Every structure is written in C-alpha cells, then in structure tokens.
C-alpha cells in the first residue's frame, strides 16, 4: 500500500514584515580614494554618482553587522527571535568556506535552532534569498525567515585599480519574511548568464595560498612560484563597459518582466529599488522602463557605494526611515551582478 504524504500547511502568501540596516561608522569620501589612484572627485561622481562610502572597522565583522541589521528587522516585524524558523545570509565576503556564517548569526540573534545557510549570488544574492524565504513561508517549512544581505567589500577592493577602487562599500541589510493573507510578493524573474562570468570576478582564487610543501604531494604555486607573502590578496575586478551595457539593456527587460508577471504597470508602481551599482545605470534603467516621475527611485549609492548583496535592503531601509517611501507602497526590486546573475520581483513594503 502506498502511503499518502500529508500536504504542507503553510501560509497562502508571504510578505516582508520588517526591515533593518547597519552602516559602518567610518565614512570614506572620494578624496581618500584619490590618494591611491590617478583620478578626480568630479570623474568619480560623473561615472558612478558616488560621493562617499562606509568601510567597516575590524570589530564591524560580517557577523556583527548582520546581527545589528537582523535585530532591527525582527523588532520592526514585531516578532521575537525565537519565532525565526530560518536564517538566510547572502554574501561574497565571508572568508571561511565552512561553517556558514548564517549559523553563527542565528545563534547571536537568539533564534534558537533555525535552518541557517549562506548563498553566493553576488549582487543578486538578496533577491535570491527573498525568493527562497517566500517559498519556505508558503510551504510551511518556516513561519518567519530572516534574509540578510551583508558585505565587507573593502576587504576585496584593490585600491590601485582605477576602475573599481571607488566603487565598493560595506554594510548589512535584513528583512523578515512571514505569512500574509493577501499577495504581497510577486513572482521572481531570475537567472544567470554564465558565458559572461569573466566580466565580474575575483582576481585570484584562495588556492594561491596552498603551500607547495604541504603533505600529500608537491603542489605548484601559481604566479611563477611567487612567495606567499608577496602574492596580492584577491580583489574584485570587472569589465566596466560590458557590465554597464548588460545592466542597462538586459536588466531593464528583466525588470519589465517582473512588473508584467506581477500584473503591475509602471503607472501603478510607487517605488523602484534597483541594486545600487552605479547612478548612471539606475538613471538609464528608469528611462528605459519609462517610469513616471511619481515613482520614488532609490539612489542610496551616492553615500553608501556598491554594497553588493546588502545594497537593496539598505536602500529599502533608508527610503522607509526618511519617509521617501511608506508602508504599503508597491516596489520593484532588482539585483544583478557577478555570475552574471539577476533576480527581480515586485513587493509590498513593510
């Protein structure tokens, strides 16, 4: 006799219930970046729109920033940490392969014994996490899920790389996703274009630090057997023009598809929160999508820089905190970056 599996008892829908953010205390202006590259404040602002960014101190670790952001999101959602059934952390700057930093964060926020795992999807990581959280809530696997986007990209910045030295910042943003009796998160349009993987990448792998005299065989060090203490730490590099063209033209199509799938027209939209990569990209997407002037557009990149997986929740938190956006607004969010990967969806703001 074939056993019948009992169906899951989840919520009909899921929604974002609370948001929180953490920005490191140190603010780094363009003038400090210019000590290392031949450029100007005017050039940086015209190419990226960035005036300042936040860089973390040694004490402002990936875990510490995440705990601060998650705590604020949990408080805003009006739940207790013990009610959190899963913690998802999107990051590319946690340097320990294992264990997942999500497990430490879950413990530090007092969440008990939730599912906890990391995902690596670059600047689309928060969107990926949001989609997974929605599935967990609707399935009934977890009633409340904390999704965190966190980066210490200052650790992966080559200050002598004129193309990227001014781009990256640090910070953490978090949301709580929980049950809803009405639709508040649209279908996700996501995907990858691995044939373009080399356009945004880490300059070298961690395997450069493997010793040639380690047990188990003679392993050749790369870079012509350069001594380990002379090998430059891995950094993020990109082909700027290729990334710009892809983001402006291809990601506008993805954003439009997310609107269509959610049944929302540009005229119905209240807020647009794209990945905070570059002000020119943001402005070009607004123009391509033909968004009305009534739509509030997140431009957090000016003072926060590109914080990869953290950029969307940080921008969302700032819009709500300043009153530029309000609870119940309909927002289009889209993340895109290394992989190349992307994720877009329409949500109701908490």
Q: Rounded to whole angstroms, what are the CA distances from 58 to 26, 52, 154, 170, 332?
A: 11, 19, 11, 12, 35
Q: Is 78 exposed, middle or buried (0-12, 13-18, 19+ CB in 10 A)?
A: exposed
Q: Is 306 one of the annotated active-site residues of the chain? A: yes
Bridge partners, residue 270, by sequence: none
Q: How many CB atoms lie within 10 A of CB 98?
A: 7
Active-site entry in 30, 54, 275, 278: 275
Q: Is 278 one of the annotated active-site residues of the chain? A: no
CA gap 256, 275 in Å, rounded: 15
Active-site entry in 54, 94, 123, 278: 123
Bridge partners, residue 20, by sequence: 174
CA gap 229, 329 in Å, rounded: 52
**End-to-end alpha-carbon separation of the chain, Å?**
47
Helices (H), the chain: 30-33, 41-48, 62-77, 101-108, 125-139, 222-225, 240-245, 251-262, 279-289, 301-304, 311-322
Residue 13: which of 183, 263, 264, 135 has the closest Cα?
183
Q: Is 311 exposed, middle or buried (0-12, 13-18, 19+ CB in 10 A)?
A: buried
Q: Rounded to whole angstroms, what are the CA distances from 120 to 94, 151, 305, 339?
A: 10, 11, 20, 10
Residues labelled catalytic: 123, 275, 306
């Amino acid at each position: 006799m074939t056993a019948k599996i009992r169906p899951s008892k989840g919520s009909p829908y899921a929604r974002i219930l609370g948001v929180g953010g953490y920005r490191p205390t140190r603010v780094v202006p363009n003038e400090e970046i210019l000590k290392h590259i031949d450029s100007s404040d005017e050039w940086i602002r015209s190419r990226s729109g960035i005036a300042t960014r936040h860089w973390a101190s040694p004490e402002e670790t990936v875990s510490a920033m995440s705990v601060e952001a998650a705590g604020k999101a949990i408080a805003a959602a009006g739940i207790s940490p013990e009610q959190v059934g899963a913690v998802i952390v999107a990051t590319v700057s946690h340097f320990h392969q294992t264990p997942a930093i999500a497990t430490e964060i879950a413990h530090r926020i007092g969440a008990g014994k939730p599912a906890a795992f990391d995902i690596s999807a670059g600047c689309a990581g928060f969107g990926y996490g949001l989609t997974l959280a929605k599935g967990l809530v609707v399935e009934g696997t977890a009633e409340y899920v904390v999704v965190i986007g966190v980066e210490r990209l200052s650790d992966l910045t080559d200050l002598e790389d004129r193309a990227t030295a001014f781009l990256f910042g640090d910070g953490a943003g978090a949301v709580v996703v929980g049950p809803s009796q009405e639709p508040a998160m649209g279908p996700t349009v996501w995907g990858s274009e691995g044939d373009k993987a080399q356009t945004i990448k880490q300059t070298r792998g961690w395997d450069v630090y493997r010793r040639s005299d380690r047990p188990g065989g003679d392993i050749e060090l790369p870079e012509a057997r350069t001594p380990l203490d002379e090998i430059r730490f891995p950094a993020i590099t990109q082909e700027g023009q290729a990334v710009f063209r892809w983001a402006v033209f291809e990601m506008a199509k993805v954003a439009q598809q997310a609107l269509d799938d959610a049944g929302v027209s540009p005229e119905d939209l209240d807020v647009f929160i794209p990945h905070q990569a570059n002000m020119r990209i943001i402005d070009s997407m607004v123009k391509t999508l033909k968004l009305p002037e009534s739509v509030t557009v997140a431009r957090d990149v000016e003072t926060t820089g590109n914080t990869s997986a953290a950029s969307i929740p940080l921008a969302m938190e700032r819009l709500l905190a300043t009153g530029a956006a309000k609870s119940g607004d309909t927002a289009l969010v889209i993340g895109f970056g290394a992989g190349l990967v992307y994720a877009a969806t329409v949500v109701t703001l908490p």
